[in-house]
C-alpha cells in the first residue's frame, strides 16, 4: 500500500501522520523533540508506522479477538519498548558512574542505581498488569524521569548517596538514550509482546492478524516535513513546507468549513486565515517574544506545583476573575506570588491568566484579518478548558456567533497538513519521496 | 544560523558598488580633514536634504542616519546603542538616534574609520519625521552650534499646495540661506545652485531608468536590497555633484547591459536570474543583518521590483526632477514630495501602483520596531493594498540598527510561509477576490 508521511518538528513535540492511498489517516506518532532532529523525526515516523500496523491489525481481528485483547497487546508492546530503553539507560548510567564517580563511592552508587532500575522494571510490569493508577506520559523521558526522581530521593540519602548526583546522572544519560537510534519498530517487539500476553483464549486470531499486519506492504511514497525555528530541518529543501501552510491545510482537512485557525503551541501562537480549499490567505504570528504561549501556562503550573492539565479545571472554578496585565513568562512567577500574598484566590488568578493568554491571541487574530466562521483552535492550549472558555467569550464579544472547532487530535494538525502536501506532491509527480522505500515492519 | 560556506564569504560586487565605495571613502576623508582645510560641515538628514544648496556654499553635508545605518551594517551599532542607553536613552527610542549618540560618545569615529568633524551648522529640513527634530535638539546640546529649521508642511491632503510651496521658499530665502551665508562666509550664488540642480536632474533621469528597469523579466535589479545602494549617492552627499552624475551614468549602463543580457541582479547567493517571485516591499530594511535578510529572499528566488524605502530621499520615479529654472521652488517641491512626507492614502496609492505597474506577485511590509513614523498604520496599509490589488500581503518585523530585534528564525519562517502561500495560490488558481473578499 502506498502511503504519505507528514512530520511536524515542533519546539517541544515532534508529530508524524501517515495517510493511505485514499487520504485516510493510517497512523500517528508522537515523541518529545530533542537536539538530534533527524532522530526526533525518525522516532515519530517509526511510531506512526507502529500505530499504522496496529490499526491494520485492529481492522483485521477486532471482531474475532475483541478490543480488550488488542489493547492488552498494545500495552505489552509499549512495555517491551520501555524495557529496551531502560536497558540502554542503565548501560549509559553504569558507564557514567565508572568514568565520573570517585572510586570509594562507586560501589554504593552502583547499588542504589541497580535497585532503582530493578524497581523501575517492576513498575513497568505493574503498569502492564494494570496495577498502576492514573495515566502516564507518552514520553519515556517524562514517565521514567518522574520515577527516577522519586526513587532517588527514597533510596539515595539513607545510604549517603546524594540525590543531586543521581539526578545529574539521569539528566546526562537520558540525553544519550534519546539521541541514539534504538529499535522501537513493530517488528522489533511484536513477538515479545505476543509472548507477554501469553496463551489466552483468542490469541490465535491475534497471531494471524499480527502476521498480516507485519507483512502488509507500506511504501512511503512521499514525505513532507515542517517545523519552525530550526537552523536546519532533517528534510531535503523540496520536502519542506511552512508550518503555517501545513496548519491551515490540516485544519481544513479536520473541519472543511474552517476559515480562521488559531494555533497556540509551546513557543508560538499563529493566527491563520484560509480559503475554501485550505489555502492560506493571511497569517500573523508572535514575533520575538513568546509571552502568552503554552510555555507560559507550563511555567505557571510549575510555580503552583500542579500539573499542566490541572490548570484549566482549577481556573474554571473561579467566580471573580483577577485582571492580569502581563503575559511575560519571566514576570509570571512574581506576579502570581504577589497576587497570592494580596489574598487573591488561586482559581481567580488563574482565570485572569488564561484570559490574558487569549487576549494576546485575539490581537494576533485581529491583525490577521479577524475571526471568520468556522473557527478552528489547535495546539496544546486547545486542550485547556479555561483557555477555550476565555476564547469563546472573547470571540463572541468581538465577532459574534462563531462555530468553534476543536479536534481531540488537534496536536497533529500540522503533521496532517504536511501529509496531505506529501500526497499532493506525489500525485503531481514531484519527487519529494526521498525514500520510496517499503517500510520494514 | 546556517553555517557560512567559503563561497558566501567571497562577496561579489558590481562595479557601481565599488565606485560608490570609493566616493564615500573620499567624502569621509574630506570630512575628517575639514577642521584643517577649513571646509564647513553641515549636518542634515536624507529626507528633504538640501545638498545642492549646501554644496553651492562650498560646505560638506554629513548625514547622521546614513552613519547610523552604516554602523549597523558594520556591526558597530550594538555597542553604540548600549552606550546611548547607558546615557539614559530608553529602549524604545529610534535606534538610529541611539546609534548616532552612542557613536558620538565613543569618540565619533565614522563608519569608514575616520574621525567625524563637528558640525558648523545643524540644518533640519523637517519632512514628516518628528524624531529628527528631537535628534538635532540632542546634537545641539552636544555641539552648541547654530541650528536652523526648515518647516515643510506635511501632505495631509495628499498634495503640496501653492501656499505651502511659497511658505517653504520664504523660509529658504529668509532663514536657511542667511544661516549658510553666515556659517560659510560666502554669499548665496544662485548660478552655482542652478548648475548643481541641473546635474541633479541628469542623475535623477539615470536613477529612474534604473528603477524602471525592474519592469523587465528577469528584473536586472533588486529594488530594495540592491536599491538602497542605488539611491545611496543621490540620497546623501552626492546629489548635484559631478561624481554623482558619473556614478548614475555608470550604474545605468551596467543595468542596461544586464537587461540586454537578460540577467538578474547580484545577490548574496550569486546572480539571481531565475526569479520565482516578484515582490514590492514597504518599510526600511534591517541593517544589522542586511545580507542575511537579503539572502532569505534570494534563496527563495524572490526579487524586489519596487520599494517605498528607496523613495524616502525623493520620489523621482513619479516624475519629479530638480528644476534649475526655479531653484528655490524646486527645492520646496522636492522636500514636500519625499516619501516620509506622504500621508497614508498616498503611501497606499504608491504601493498599489507598484504592485500593478511592476506586475508583482506579492508585497511585504517590514515593520520597524523603533520607527513609529514608518510603522504606524502599516497594517491598515496592508489590508487596503490587498483589497485594491487582490494580492495578499506579507508582514515581517525587525528593526533598523538594533540587532536585538532581528529574529532570523522568525523572519525566515514568515517570509517562507508567505512565499509558499503565493505558490499555493498560484497552484490552486485562487481568484484573489474570492480569497480576499472577507477582508474588504
Report domain extents, chain A. 256-406
B424 in A contact zone (CB under 8 Å): yes
Query: What residues 354-383 of chain B have any CB closer than 8 A to a CB of chain A?
Result: 379, 383
B429 in A contact zone (CB under 8 Å): no
Residues of A in contact with B413 (CB under 8 A): 228-229, 242-244, 285
Residue B371 zone, left/alpha/beta (φ > 0; ψ -120 to 50; rest)? beta
Interchain CB distance below 8 Å, B409 and A232:
no
In this structure, of A34-38, B328-332, B334-338, B426-430, the range with the lowest mean pLDDT score is B426-430
Interchain CB distance below 8 Å, A245 and B424:
yes
Smallest Cβ–Cβ distance between A275 and the set B2, B414, B435 belongs to B435
SS3 for B331-347 is HHHHHHHCHHHECHHHH
Interchain CB distance below 8 Å, B424 and A279:
yes
- At residue B418, the pLDDT reads 95
Q: How far apart are CA A236 and CA A229, in angstroms?
A: 16
Q: CB within 8 A of B10, min separation 6: which ones?
A: none
Query: What residues 173-202 of chain A have any CB closer than 8 A to a CB of chain B?
Result: none
Give yes or no for residue B3 having a pLDDT over 50: no
Q: What is the mean pLDDT of residues A312-325?
A: 88
In this structure, of A25-34, A232-241, B148-157, the range with the lowest mean pLDDT score is A232-241
Give yes or no for residue A77 having a pLDDT over 80: yes
CB pairs under 8 A between A and B: 75
Q: What distance in Å separates residue B95's CA from the closest CA in chain A? A: 17
- At residue A118, the pLDDT reads 96
Element spanning B366, H or E? strand B362-368
Query: What residues 282-301 of chain A have any CB closer than 8 A to a CB of chain B?
Result: 282-285, 287-288
**C-beta separation of B302 from B279 below 8 A:** yes
Pick the more confident residue, A303 or B263.
B263
Cα A422 to its chain centre, rounded Å, is: 21
How many CB atoms within 10 Å of residue A184?
Answer: 20
A241 in B contact zone (CB under 8 Å): yes
Is the residue at B2 inside a domain? no
Is the residue at B1 inside a domain? no
How many CB atoms within 10 Å of residue A322?
Answer: 19
Residues of B in contact with A244 (CB under 8 A): 413, 417, 420-421
Give yes or no for residue A437 having a pLDDT over 90: no
- At residue B432, the pLDDT reads 44
Interchain CB distance below 8 Å, B413 and A242:
yes
- At residue A234, the pLDDT reads 74
Residues of A in contact with B301 (CB under 8 A): none
Give yes or no for residue B433 having a pLDDT over 60: no
Cis omega (within 30 of 0) on the bond before A374?
yes
A399 in B contact zone (CB under 8 Å): no
Cα A155 to its chain centre, rounded Å, is: 31
Reduced to 3 states (helix: H, G, I; strand: E, B; else coil), residue A348 is: helix
Burial of B372 (0-12, 13-18, 19+ CB in 10 A): middle
> Grid coordinates 525592474 are at which residue?
B214
Q: How far apart are CA B389 and CA B383, in angstroms?
A: 10
Give yes or no for residue B437 having a pLDDT over 50: no
Give yes or no for residue A407 having a pLDDT over 70: yes
**C-beta separation of A420 from A410 below 8 A:** no
Tell me the pTM. 0.84
Q: How far apart are CA B409 and CA B413, in angstroms?
A: 6
Residues of A in contact with B393 (CB under 8 A): 282
Q: Chain B residue with minimal CA distance to A230?
A: B409
Pick the more confident residue, A72 or A254.
A254
Give yes or no for residue B214 having a pLDDT over 90: yes
Is the residue at B362 inside a domain? yes
- At residue A441, the pLDDT reads 62
Interchain CB distance below 8 Å, B421 and A241:
no
Q: pLDDT over 90 for what percent of chain B?
A: 83
Element spanning B279, H or E? strand B277-282
B416 in A contact zone (CB under 8 Å): yes
Task: Cell numbers for B425, please give them.
Answer: 495560490
Interchain CB distance below 8 Å, B413 and A243:
yes
Q: What is the mean pLDDT of residues B372-398?
A: 93
Residue of A279, A371, A402, A428 to mutate, testing the B interface (most B Cβ within 10 Å of its Cβ): A279
Interchain CB distance below 8 Å, B407 and A228:
no
Q: What are B26-59's pLDDT values in tens digits?
A: 999 999 999 999 999 999 999 999 999 999 999 9
Considering the segment(s) A256-406 as one domain, its CATH architecture is 2-Layer Sandwich (3.30)
- At residue A104, the pLDDT reads 86
Confidence of residue B440 (pLDDT cuts 50, 70, 90): very low
- At residue B95, the pLDDT reads 94
**C-beta separation of A390 from A354 below 8 A:** yes
| φ and ψ at residue B160, rounded to 5 degrees | -100, 115
How many domains are contained in chain B?
1
A360 in B contact zone (CB under 8 Å): no
**Strand B60-62's sheet: what is its strand order?**
B60-62, B41-43, B121-126, B147-151
Smallest Cβ–Cβ distance between A279 and the set B383, B407, B430 belongs to B430
Give yes or no for residue A392 having a pLDDT over 90: yes
- Domain carrying residue B68: 10-439
Amino acid at each position: 500500500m502506498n502511503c504519505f508521511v507528514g512530520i511536524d518538528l515542533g519546539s517541544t513535540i515532534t508529530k508524524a501522520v501517515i495517510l493511505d492511498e485514499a487520504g485516510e489517516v493510517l497512523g500517528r506518532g508522537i515523541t518529545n523533540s530533542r537536539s538530534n532532529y533527524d532522530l526526533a523525526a525518525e522516532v515519530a515516523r517509526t511510531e506512526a508506522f507502529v500505530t499504522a500496523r496496529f490499526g491494520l491489525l485492529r481492522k483485521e481481528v477486532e471482531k474475532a479477538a475483541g478490543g480488550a485483547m488488542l489493547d492488552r497487546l498494545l500495552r505489552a508492546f509499549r512495555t517491551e519498548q520501555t524495557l529496551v530503553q531502560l536497558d540502554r539507560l542503565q548501560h549509559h548510567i553504569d558507564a557514567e558512574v565508572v568514568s565520573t564517580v570517585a572510586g570509594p563511592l562507586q560501589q554504593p552508587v552502583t547499588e542504589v542505581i541497580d535497585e532503582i532500575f530493578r524497581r523501575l522494571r517492576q513498575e513497568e510490569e505493574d503498569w502492564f498488569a494494570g496495577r498502576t493508577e492514573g495515566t502516564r506520559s507518552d514520553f519515556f523521558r517524562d514517565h521514567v524521569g518522574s520515577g527516577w526522581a522519586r526513587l532517588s530521593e527514597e533510596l539515595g540519602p539513607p545510604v549517603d548517596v546524594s540525590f543531586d548526583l543521581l539526578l545529574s546522572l539521569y539528566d546526562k544519560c537520558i540525553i544519550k538514550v534519546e539521541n541514539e537510534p534504538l529499535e522501537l519498530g513493530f517488528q522489533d517487539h511484536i513477538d515479545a509482546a505476543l509472548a507477554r500476553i501469553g496463551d489466552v483464549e483468542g490469541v490465535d486470531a491475534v497471531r494471524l492478524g499480527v502476521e498480516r499486519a507485519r507483512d502488509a506492504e507500506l511504501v512511503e511514497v512521499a514525505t513532507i516535513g515542517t517545523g519552525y525555528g530550526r537552523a536546519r530541518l532533517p528534510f531535503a529543501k523540496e520536502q519542506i513546507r511552512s508550518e503555517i501552510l501545513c496548519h491551515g491545510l490540516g485544519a481544513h482537512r479536520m473541519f472543511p468549513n474552517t476559515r480562521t485557525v488559531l494555533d497556540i503551541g509551546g513557543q508560538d501562537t499563529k493566527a491563520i486565515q484560509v480559503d475554501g480549499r485550505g489555502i492560506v490567505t493571511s497569517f500573523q504570528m508572535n514575533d520575538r517574544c513568546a509571552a502568552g504561549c503554552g510555555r507560559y501556562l507550563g511555567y505557571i503550573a510549575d510555580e503552583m506545583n500542579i500539573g499542566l492539565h490541572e490548570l484549566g479545571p482549577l481556573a474554571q472554578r473561579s467566580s471573580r476573575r483577577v485582571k492580569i496585565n502581563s503575559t511575560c513568562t519571566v514576570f509570571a512567577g512574581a506576579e502570581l506570588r504577589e497576587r497570592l500574598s494580596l489574598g487573591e484566590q488561586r482559581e481567580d488568578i488563574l482565570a485572569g491568566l488564561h484570559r490574558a493568554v487569549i487576549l494576546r491571541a485575539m490581537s494576533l487574530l485581529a491583525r490577521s484579518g479577524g475571526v471568520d466562521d468556522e473557527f478552528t483552535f489547535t495546539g496544546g492550549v486547545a486542550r485547556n478548558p479555561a483557555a477555550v472558555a476565555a476564547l469563546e467569550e472573547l470571540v463572541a464579544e468581538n465577532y459574534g456567533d462563531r462555530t468553534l472547532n476543536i479536534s481531540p487530535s488537534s496536536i497533529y494538525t500540522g503533521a496532517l497538513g504536511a501529509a496531505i502536501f506529501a500526497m499532493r506532491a506525489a500525485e503531481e509527480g514531484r519527487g519529494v519521496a526521498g525514500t520510496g522505500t517499503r517500510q520494514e515492519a | 544560523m546556517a553555517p557560512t560556506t567559503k563561497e558566501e564569504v567571497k562577496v561579489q560586487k558590481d562595479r557601481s558598488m565599488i565606485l560608490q565605495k570609493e566616493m564615500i571613502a573620499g567624502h569621509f576623508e574630506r570630512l575628517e580633514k575639514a577642521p584643517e582645510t577649513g571646509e564647513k560641515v553641515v549636518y542634515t538628514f536624507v529626507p528633504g536634504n538640501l545638498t545642492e544648496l549646501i554644496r553651492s556654499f562650498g560646505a560638506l553635508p554629513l548625514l547622521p542616519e546614513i552613519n547610523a545605518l552604516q554602523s549597523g551594517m558594520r556591526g558597530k551599532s550594538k555597542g553604540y546603542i548600549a552606550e546611548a542607553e547607558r546615557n539614559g536613552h530608553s529602549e524604545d527610542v529610534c535606534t538610529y538616534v541611539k546609534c548616532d549618540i552612542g557613536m558620538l560618545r565613543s569618540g565619533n569615529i565614522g563608519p569608514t574609520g575616520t574621525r567625524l568633524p563637528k558640525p558648523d551648522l545643524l540644518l533640519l529640513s523637517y519632512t514628516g519625521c518628528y524624531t529628527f527634530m528631537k535628534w538635532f535638539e540632542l546634537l545641539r546640546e552636544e555641539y552648541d552650534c547654530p541650528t536652523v529649521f526648515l518647516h515643510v508642511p506635511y501632505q495631509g491632503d495628499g498634495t503640496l499646495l501653492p501656499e505651502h510651496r511659497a511658505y517653504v521658499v520664504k523660509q529658504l530665502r529668509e532663514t536657511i540661506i542667511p544661516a549658510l551665508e553666515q556659517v560659510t562666509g560666502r554669499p548665496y550664488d544662485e548660478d552655482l545652485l542652478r548648475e548643481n540642480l541641473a546635474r541633479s536632474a541628469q542623475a535623477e533621469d539615470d536613477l529612474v531608468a534604473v528603477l524602471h528597469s525592474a519592469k523587465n523579466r528577469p528584473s536586472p535589479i533588486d529594488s530594495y536590497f540592491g536599491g538602497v545602494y542605488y539611491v545611496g549617492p543621490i540620497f546623501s552627499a552626492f546629489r548635484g555633484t559631478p561624481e554623482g552624475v558619473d556614478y548614475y551614468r555608470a550604474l545605468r549602463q551596467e543595468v542596461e547591459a544586464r537587461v540586454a543580457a537578460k540577467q538578474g541582479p547580484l545577490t548574496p547567493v550569486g546572480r539571481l536570474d531565475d526569479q520565482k517571485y516578484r515582490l514590492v516591499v514597504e518599510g526600511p530594511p534591517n541593517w544589522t543583518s542586511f545580507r542575511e535578510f537579503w539572502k532569505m529572499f534570494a534563496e527563495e528566488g524572490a526579487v524586489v521590483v519596487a520599494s517605498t524605502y528607496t523613495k524616502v530621499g525623493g520620489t523621482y520615479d513619479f516624475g519629479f526632477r530638480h528644476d534649475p529654472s526655479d531653484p528655490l521652488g524646486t527645492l520646496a517641491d522636492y522636500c514636500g514630495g519625499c516619501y516620509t512626507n506622504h500621508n497614508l492614502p498616498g503611501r497606499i496609492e504608491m504601493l498599489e501602483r507598484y504592485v500593478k505597474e511592476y506586475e508583482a506577485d506579492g508585497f511585504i511590509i517590514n515593520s520597524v520596531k523603533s520607527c513609529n513614523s514608518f510603522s504606524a498604520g502599516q497594517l491598515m496599509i496592508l489590508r487596503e493594498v490587498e483589497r485594491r490589488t487582490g494580492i495578499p500581503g506579507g508582514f515581517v518585523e525587525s528593526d533598523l540598527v538594533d540587532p536585538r530585534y532581528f529574529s532570523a528564525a522568525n523572519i525566515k519562517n514568515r517570509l517562507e510561509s508567505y512565499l509558499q502561500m503565493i505558490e499555493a495560490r498560484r497552484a490552486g488558481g485562487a481568484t484573489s477576490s474570492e480569497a480576499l473578499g472577507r477582508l474588504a
